[in-house]
């Protein structure tokens, strides 16, 4: 078997394992196993594999900081407090609770990233539905869909943006000018379609929540740490600096501050973090590097450059739709890595690059494993005892994602 075909087969099997999770084997085992197999068989040199893993340093640090904040907030009871607050403001109205969750999810995604919505907001929303005695799934779906729909409002809203642009992230004001209107279109269409598809569930009356429990000191300090992290990310983004290190430092500082105030060891927080996400991401970086070594990335760059020169308008729409579908086949993180590599190798119009960003960020709303954020959301949902099948998610995603994607591409 020719070596490139062997590489493609291993990468395809590893990606299928990540998406389908046969025998309930964790996602990171498949990604890391495929990466190790490529290295052991000599298809990817050790130096190239280590270099690929090292490319993700900013993403790893970003995820560590966010996961630490999420686990700390969960343990300190901040989620339960916010949940009760949301249930009280809903005042027995399922539609009002829906609007509250959607609004908060949008803000968390915009200012803290879509991964924060997946790992921080999802447990809070589940607690809110439990307090209001409501069916949790319609509200949990909001967390999954808004995490991707609002993930290109700001550069910090999605780690995939870090992957696509690398060290060449556009300045904040330039980003807002390019993606402001498409983001509004994606968020508005996602809201309207979720409300429409979940209308039966939103007719039920919710339980009234009369009392608001006091917010403990640890939870208040955690909330302050999350707020400071959001400010730090905004400033860092405006200065066009890498986001991973400040996010990680902010998360660690918040954990240390809370436990120093309580005079307790912080080890339970570290133990509760889903560390398997990091080898999952590292494995995906190696799989993409393997594909690059076969020459497929270079060929894609040539094809894209030719397409944009022959029919630039058609190329923008075609790239947006095709990359969005590809994200659901291989996950948006490797798709973003490939898109970023292709974009750097090819000379393409700015509008086509913007279409790549929209596709990588919004396209994953079609399937349950389309993005890293949705995978994190699924892990959080399972942790709460809920089960969502790939088919259930796909039936909703096929109604919600395509109109939002087309609207965002049309407003580029």
Query: Tens digit of pLDDT for each residue in 326-349?
Result: 888 777 877 777 777 776 656 777
DSSP 36-90: HHHHHTTSS-HHHHHHHHHTTHHHHHHHHHHHHHHHHHHHTTHHHHHHHHHHHHH
- Whether pLDDT at 186 is above 90: yes
- Whether pLDDT at 183 is above 90: yes
Residue 79: which of 223, 254, 187, 196 has the closest Cα?
223
Q: Are 12 and 331 in contact (CB under 8 A)?
A: no
- Whether pLDDT at 268 is above 80: yes
Tally Cβ neighbours within 10 Å of residue 256. Answer: 12
Structure tokens of 391?
Answer: 């088919």
pLDDT tens per residue, range 373-391:
898 898 888 888 888 888 8
DSSP 254-314: HHHHHHHHHT---HHHHHHS-TTHHHHHHHHHHHHHHHHHTTHHHHHHHHHHHHHHH-HHH
pLDDT tens per residue, range 7-50:
888 888 887 787 777 887 887 898 899 999 999 998 989 999 99
Q: Helix 78-90 and helix 217-238: axis angle, to 10°?
A: 90
Q: Specify the higher pLDDT residue, 235 or 346.
A: 235
The total number of residues written for the chain in this structure: 412
Percent of the chain with pLDDT over 70: 96
- How far apart, in whole angstroms, are the C-alpha atoms of residue 72 and residue 94? 29
Print the domain residue range for 91: 3-410
Structure tokens of 215?
Answer: 């917010």
> For the chain, how far is it from start to end, CA to CA, in angstroms?
44
Least confident of 52-66, 198-212, 373-387: 198-212
Least confident of 120-129, 151-160, 205-214, 290-299: 205-214
**Number of domains, the chain:** 1
Averaged pLDDT for residues 218-234: 88
Where does the pLDDT of residue 167 fall: very low under 50, low under 70, confident under 90, or very high at 90 and above?
A: low
- How far apart, in whole angstroms, are the C-alpha atoms of residue 12 and residue 7? 8
- The mean pLDDT of the chain is 85
- How far apart, in whole angstroms, are the C-alpha atoms of residue 255 and residue 69? 7
Where does the pLDDT of residue 1 fall: very low under 50, low under 70, confident under 90, or very high at 90 and above?
A: very low
- How far apart, in whole angstroms, are the C-alpha atoms of residue 388 and residue 330? 20
Which helix or strand (DSSP H or E) is residue 176 part of? helix 172-197
Handedness of CA 272, 13, 390, 147 (dihedral sign): positive
Ramachandran quadrant class, 354 (left: phi over 0; alpha: psi -120 to 50; beta: rest): alpha
- Whether pLDDT at 123 is above 70: yes
Supply the pLDDT for residue 346: 62
Helix (H, G, I), strand (E, B) or coil at 190: helix
Residue 93's beta-bridge partner residues?
A: 205
Averaged pLDDT for residues 273-278: 85
Supply the pLDDT for residue 251: 93
Residue 294: which of 72, 1, 55 has the closest Cα?
1
Supply the pLDDT for residue 332: 83
Where does the pLDDT of residue 131 fall: very low under 50, low under 70, confident under 90, or very high at 90 and above?
A: confident
- Whether pLDDT at 364 is above 80: yes
- How far apart, in whole angstroms, are the C-alpha atoms of residue 81 and residue 152? 29
- Whether pLDDT at 111 is above 50: yes
- Whether pLDDT at 230 is above 90: no
Residue 49: which of 64, 61, 65, 38 has the closest Cα?
38
Supply the pLDDT for residue 151: 93
Supply the pLDDT for residue 361: 94
């Amino acid at each position: 078997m020719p070596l490139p075909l062997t590489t493609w087969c291993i990468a395809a099997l590893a990606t299928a394992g990540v998406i389908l999770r046969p025998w309930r084997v964790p996602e990171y085992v498949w990604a890391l196993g495929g990466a190790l197999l490529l290295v052991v068989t000599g298809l990817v040199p050790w130096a190239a594999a280590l270099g690929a893993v090292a490319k993700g340093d900013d993403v790893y640090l970003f995820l560590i900081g966010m996961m630490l904040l999420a686990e700390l907030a969960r343990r300190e009871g901040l989620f339960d407090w916010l949940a009760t607050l949301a249930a009280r403001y809903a005042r027995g109205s399922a539609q009002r609770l829906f609007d509250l969750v959607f609004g908060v999810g949008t803000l968390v995604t915009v200012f803290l990233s879509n991964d924060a919505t997946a790992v921080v907001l999802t447990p809070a929303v589940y607690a809110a539905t439990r307090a209001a005695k409501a069916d949790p799934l319609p509200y949990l779906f909001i967390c999954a869909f808004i995490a991707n729909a609002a993930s290109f409002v700001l550069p910090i809203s999605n780690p995939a943006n870090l992957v696509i642009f690398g060290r060449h992230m556009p300045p904040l004001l330039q980003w807002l000018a390019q993606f402001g209107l498409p983001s509004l279109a994606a968020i508005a269409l996602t809201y309207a379609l979720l409300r429409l598809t979940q209308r039966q569930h939103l007719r039920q009356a919710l339980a009234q929540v009369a009392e608001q429990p006091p917010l403990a000191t640890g939870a208040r300090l955690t909330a302050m740490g999350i707020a400071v992290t959001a400010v730090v990310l905004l400033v860092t983004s405006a200065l066009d600096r890498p986001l991973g290190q400040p996010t990680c430092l902010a998360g660690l500082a918040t954990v240390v501050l809370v436990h120093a105030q309580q005079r307790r060891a912080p080890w339970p927080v570290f133990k509760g973090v889903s560390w398997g996400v990091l080898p999952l991401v590292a494995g995906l970086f190696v799989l993409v590097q393997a594909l690059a070594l076969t020459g497929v990335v270079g060929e894609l760059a040539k094809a894209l450059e030719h397409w944009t020169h022959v029919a630039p308008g058609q190329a923008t729409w075609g790239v947006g739709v095709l990359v969005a579908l590809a994200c659901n086949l291989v996950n948006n993180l490797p798709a973003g890595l490939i898109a970023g590599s292709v974009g750097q190798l090819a000379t393409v119009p700015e509008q086509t690059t913007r279409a790549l960003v929209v596709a990588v960020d919004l396209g994953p709303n079609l399937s349950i494993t389309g993005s890293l954020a949705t995978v994190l959301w699924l892990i959080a949902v399972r942790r709460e005892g809920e089960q969502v099948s790939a088919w259930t998610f796909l039936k909703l995603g096929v109604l919600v994602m395509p109109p939002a994607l087309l609207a965002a591409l049309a407003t580029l």
